[in-house]
Structure 1
Amino acid sequence: MDLSLTPAELEFRDELREWLAANRPGPEPGDTEAAIDHRLAWQRTLFDAGYSGIAWPREHGGRGATQMEQAIFNEEMVRARAPAPANIIGLVMGGPVVITRGSDEQRARFLAPILSGEEIWCQGFSEPNAGSDLAALTTSAVQAEGGWVVNGQKVWTSFAHRARWCMLLAKTGDDQRHRNLTFFILDMKQPGVEVRPLRQATGDSEFNEIFFDNAFVPDENVVGAVGDGWNVGITTLMFERAGLSAASALAIQLKLDDLAALIRDRGLQDDRSLSRRLAALVIATETMRLNGYRGLTRIIEHGVPGPEGSIAKIQWADINQRVGELAMDVLGGAALLADPVWTRWMLRARANSIEGGTSEIQRNILAERVLNLPRMR
């Protein structure tokens, strides 16, 4: 694993850094809907400049950049404290799975609007009784003339209230658990689709429930083969976890800089207990960054992310929660009154070990697919 940059990569980094300094948008609004609009406008700016989906192949609207250049882009975005694009689910998961597993017709139809942000995507996997165990989902798709009729419910769906398309896993048969699922691209703007927001502890409603009542998916919106949805879905989740890259570690490092400044501002820099905890977080975050580069090496060598991405998911959740806990100890009672930024971080981080696959599930994945340990029953 070579962490040095080539002359071409250094040139790309410097060009991007200069562009971000000149074009980074102003502060993001506190209101959730206004923030989404803010990020949509930013994604269009990125798209117009050729910085949206830069590692996608040129024939699919991307820049044809290398995976290393994509990693540089991710890190420079974080370093500039620029907002993420609004259609991050489409860019990180939807587009890549259509590129790798979709048909030529699907690529022609769906990819360009993902890049521009014209059409937002959401992910319809988890259900009230099928989150960690996706194979137990009950949302069904019954074959009809020209397509499939969908009934059921999904939950914890980010951006569903603004999405045009949903990556949907649904049960299409009575075969064994992993052979009865199919991956669909479902139109969220049709009759038979109801979206209800979920209120969070932070006061936001970034997640939603989706209810399907005889919603329809045409045959041409099946991704992969009927009954192969489990494998297509796993590919999607690997892209999601690969997104927890070295750039995610850099984002935490910047937050740790803010936390160190908070400790100094409150006159606590000589508190050895706080210093030890902060140092441990710095070390853990650097470990996460290096693991991110190991995952990047896997993508460069094999074209797709591997199960090692589960390590990053565990690290990301654990570190975020520890950062929030340390901030609360630094602030004490003032956390309830004076600093909503850190309180929000602490509250939001509690979900990190659950969303996107629980930490327990990630450990099972590592045990079975990386360490080759026997499955316990």
Structure 2
Amino acid sequence: MADGMDTGLEQFRAETRAWLEENCPPSMRTPMPEDEIVWGGRGEKFKNPESKVWLERMAEKGWTAPTWPKEYGGGGLSQAEARVLAEELKRIKARTPLNSFGLWMFGPVLIEYGNEEQKKRFLPDIVHGKIRWCQGYSEPGAGSDLAGLQTKCEDKGDHWLINGQKVWTSYANEADWIFCLVRTDTSVKHEGISFILFDMESEGVETRPIKLISGSSPFCETFFTDVKVPKEQMVGRLNGGWEIAKRLLQYERTNISAGGFGSAPGAMPLYEIAKHYVGEENGKLDDDDLRLRLADHMMADKAFNLTVRRMGEQSKTGEVSHTASIVKYAAAKLNQSKTELMVEAMGFQGLGWEGEGFSEKELTAPKAMLRAKANSIEGGTSEVNLNVVAKRVLGLQDHKG
């Protein structure tokens, strides 16, 4: 049985390799600049025309979502085949054809909790990058205590009526649709939440970008004023949204842990950056203290990636556990450490903000360091994740004093 399986996988590998060689455009095998990342959606402009070609070819195969069922536009691959595909994409250094909250978070929970009509309506468009999604979770008074959300959703007979506010909504000003947590019962907390979908062009939806200390504005305040939503766009049962919300957060933390923070596209390895700016003596970095801290970081990063790989194997079998909280916490710490070491290694050249005398990558470094401060907040704060680990993984009980 094993020999037959191996033979089948090797045949799949050969076919996949041949297809990629023929269909992956040359520029899609180079490091991806920040401004060429493809998010999809109605407003996608494709700065590089070959990005559009690459997305269309991969989506047609269903390989933007390789393990999703074929009937919903996915690739229908087994977990083993998906691993082979990932290996072959990595071999040719292929760019990710599509970055999408729909792929990472919303799609998986829709497959699990959505009805057949919802799956057929939304999943193929996610695979093809036709709709860009954003996530309506946090509110001004409901961040770490997400279940305290107050955005109100009323049953008006033939539609839902939504009023309220979200905050830290990533790319809400560029998204087409939102998957949103709303309160449908004010008499209970967790049991009064529902999960609903609606178009961001609906009347009554307003977004206001929030400028961060890094200078960028990826997050928004989002306001809903008498937004009408068709009844069929609620996912799962009425007042059953908290279960879906928790599941989606597990997928989000898994994705963040597996590289969601990551490096800027095309970024040099940290040691190469240090070698460039600090220099070497006798084959060693010419700064003993920095060399030691870089070595510690690199070992921790290696151990982390091996852990993520193991967790990824578990998730591919449908097991998305609370261990995602462990690696999400570690990922935040590692990325903050990495960006701080990068700025330190650059010395004076790592302190530029704008103007002449600094390269584009040098100007990116301090912004990346400041941006990394949010890693311990987004996707569940580090404090909340530690509580999840304590209770759900270690089985610790609340101390009653």
Provide the TM-score with structure 2 as the length reference: 0.83
Over 3 Å counting, the alpha-carbon distance change for 1:363 and 1:227 in structure 2 is same
8 Å contact from structure 2 (residues 336, 369) kept in 1: yes
Whichever residue aligns with residue 13 of structure 2, its letter is E
Query: Which residue is 1:270 aligned to?
Result: 286
Over 3 Å counting, the alpha-carbon distance change for 1:176 and 1:72 in structure 2 is farther
After superposition, the CA RMSD in angstroms is 3.1
In 2, the alpha carbon distance for the partners of 1:254 and 1:211 equals 32
In 1, the alpha carbon distance for the partners of 2:28 and 2:216 equals 25
In 2, the alpha carbon distance for the partners of 1:127 and 1:80 equals 42
With 336-345 and 82-91 compared, the bigger mean Cα shift is at 82-91
Query: Which residue is 1:233 aligned to?
Result: 245
Give the 3-state SS of the residue equivalent to 2:303 in structure 1.
helix
Unpaired segments ≥5 residues, structure 2: 353-357
Query: Which residue is 2:157 aligned to?
Result: 145
2:336 is the counterpart of 1:325: no
In 1, the alpha carbon distance for the partners of 2:120 and 2:253 equals 26
8 Å contact from structure 1 (residues 67, 296) kept in 2: no
Unpaired segments ≥5 residues, structure 1: none
Whichever residue aligns with residue 367 of structure 2, its letter is R
Query: Which residue is 2:121 aligned to?
Result: 109
Deviations along 1:5-58, one digit per CA (max 9) or x if unpaired, are 956278277457745574617643649999963387354343135421111111
Q: What count of residue pairs does the alignment treat as equivalent?
A: 371
Deviation at 1:332, TM superposition (A): 1.8
Where do residues 243-262 of structure 1 align in structure 2 (5 Å cutoff)?
243-244=255-256, 246=258, 258-262=269-273
Over 3 Å counting, the alpha-carbon distance change for 1:298 and 1:160 in structure 2 is same
With 267-276 and 148-157 compared, the bigger mean Cα shift is at 267-276
Deviations along 1:330-358, one digit per CA (max 9) or x if unpaired, are 11221123211322321221111111111
Give the 3-state SS of the residue equivalent to 1:200 in structure 2.
coil
> In terms of Rg, which structure is larger?
2
Whichever residue aligns with residue 206 of structure 2, its letter is E
8 Å contact from structure 2 (residues 39, 100) kept in 1: no
Provide the TM-score with structure 1 as the length reference: 0.88
In 2, the alpha carbon distance for the partners of 1:285 and 1:21 equals 31
Query: Which residue is 1:354 aligned to?
Result: 377
In 2, the alpha carbon distance for the partners of 1:51 and 1:117 equals 12
In 1, the alpha carbon distance for the partners of 2:215 and 2:88 equals 30
Deviation at 1:175, TM superposition (A): 3.6
In 1, the alpha carbon distance for the partners of 2:65 and 2:58 equals 9
Q: Once the two structures are aligned, what percentage of the paired residues are identical?
A: 35
2:107 is the counterpart of 1:88: no
In 2, the alpha carbon distance for the partners of 1:242 and 1:6 equals 28
In 2, the alpha carbon distance for the partners of 1:311 and 1:6 equals 33
8 Å contact from structure 2 (residues 110, 235) kept in 1: yes
8 Å contact from structure 1 (residues 308, 370) kept in 2: yes
Deviation at 1:59, TM superposition (A): 1.5
2:396 to 356, 373, 377: 373
Query: Which residue is 2:303 aligned to?
Result: 287
